[in-house]
Amino acid sequence: MSRVYNFSAGPAALPLDVLEQIEKDIFDWQGTGMSVMEVSHRGKEFVALAARSEANLRKLLSVPDDYAVIFPQGGATLQMAMVPMNLSAQGDIADYVVTGSWSKKAAGEAARFCKTNVAADSADRNYTYIPDETSWKRTDKAAYLHYTPNETIGGVEFHFVPGGDVPLVADMSSTILSRPIDVSRFGVIYAGAQKNIGPAGITLVIVKKELLDRARSSNPHLMTWKSYAESDSMTNTPPTFAWYVADLVFQWLLEQGGVETMALVNERKASKLYAAIDKSDFYSNPVAKDCRSWMNVPFVLADASLDAKFLQESHAAGLTNLKGHRSVGGMRASIYNAVSEEAVDALIAFMADFEKVNG
């Protein structure tokens, strides 16, 4: 078996331990004589999986009892519509902080359902910083404030939680479970799975129960958080395989020591990669130092004509998916929970060698 170091932004690397468990389980899951893909989601084995995964997620993030934890489909992108459908009435105003591609997309989607106010926007410096919170132009009595704690494309991360007294809504797709968070500060947290949770196809939403009654009555059931909360996320057939893998990932995270341990490792991984970039004139990272992401590290080569060579040689060395997003250019290393420190060390060593030969 030969595994590469996978720096993909998403779908992203999964822990090898989890893949090995899947291999063990594939033909006969838990003595059922069937794979997990072939059992009823209402059978006792799968219902136990669903309950365990919720309990473990609650433990990992210390989710308070007055929050519901639900697992819809549709990814983070569907939540960009479900947020205004579940939290606003037509005519309400929702505030959006736009610090990159994903928050911009979220604001655009919400505008189909309610009025939106862009409270802050960092497009003027190509989304490489977070406008000072005191400069945000927030609406009085907004339905909610939405922001994206980690912009996956730009590599911009909030290392603080915004204040205010309206429900705070956060798209945590690419930062969830990378560190502890204080869930009680949020009204809604949502995340697509394919970065730090598991395979694409399942979505995590953590929502304060008192907000569940704000949903529009015209919403389809499958676009109503309350339907999921009332049915243990079995409003219809859930994505059972993706849920099963997410359950294994949550167990793996607990075995690693939980998100407290992940935070220590993640900060160390990110710091050494940024240090390697900053000390060289050959590589650079455009993001303001106080908001650099622990999860997605974009970097450009001073001589962009070497990009193709960098990508080709890094791939040949077993370091894959380093091409940056087309809106930023250069490279991007996504170093989620399942990307080991060893992988980051290998990348740093490759970068130094490449600079020596080409710099």
Compare residues 77 and 139 and give the one whose CB is closer to ligand PLP: 77
Q: Please, which residues have CB within 8 angstroms of residue 85's CB and are 6 or more apart in sequence? A: 113, 215, 216, 219, 223, 224
The answer to whether residue 356 is catalytic is no
Compare residues 78 and 273 and give the one whose CB is closer to ligand PLP: 78
Q: Minimum distance from CB of 335 to ligand PLP (Å)? A: 14
| Look-up of token digits 């945590």 | 172
Compare residues 75 and 330 and give the one whose CB is closer to ligand PLP: 75
DSSP states of 103-116 as a string? Answer: HHHHHHHHTTTSEE
Which positions touch ligand PLP (CB under 6 A)? 10, 75-77, 102, 148, 152, 171, 173-174, 192
Token pair belonging to 337: 């929970």
Partners of 203 in the beta sheet?
Answer: 192
Compare residues 335 and 351 and give the one whose CB is closer to ligand PLP: 335
Q: Minimum distance from CB of 149 to ligand PLP (Å)? A: 8
The answer to whether residue 252 is catalytic is no
Q: Minimum distance from CB of 79 to ligand PLP (Å)? A: 8
* Main-chain dihedrals φ then ψ at residue 33, nearest 5 degrees: 75, 15
User: Is 249:18 a contact under the CB 8 Å cutoff?
Assistant: yes
User: Is 45:29 a contact under the CB 8 Å cutoff?
Assistant: yes
According to DSSP, the β-strands at 145-147 and 5-6 are unpaired
Angle formed at CA 94 by CA 88 and CA 99, multiple of 5 degrees: 135
Which one from 29, 95, 102, 269 is the annotated catalytic residue? 102
Q: Minimum distance from CB of 23 to ligand PLP (Å)? A: 25
* Main-chain dihedrals φ then ψ at residue 305, nearest 5 degrees: -70, -10
Which one from 92, 95, 171, 247 is the annotated catalytic residue? 171
Q: Minimum distance from CB of 320 to ligand PLP (Å)? A: 18
Compare residues 174 and 354 and give the one whose CB is closer to ligand PLP: 174
The answer to whether residue 195 is catalytic is yes
Which one from 92, 95, 136, 195 is the annotated catalytic residue? 195
Question: Which positions are catalytic?
Answer: 102, 171, 195
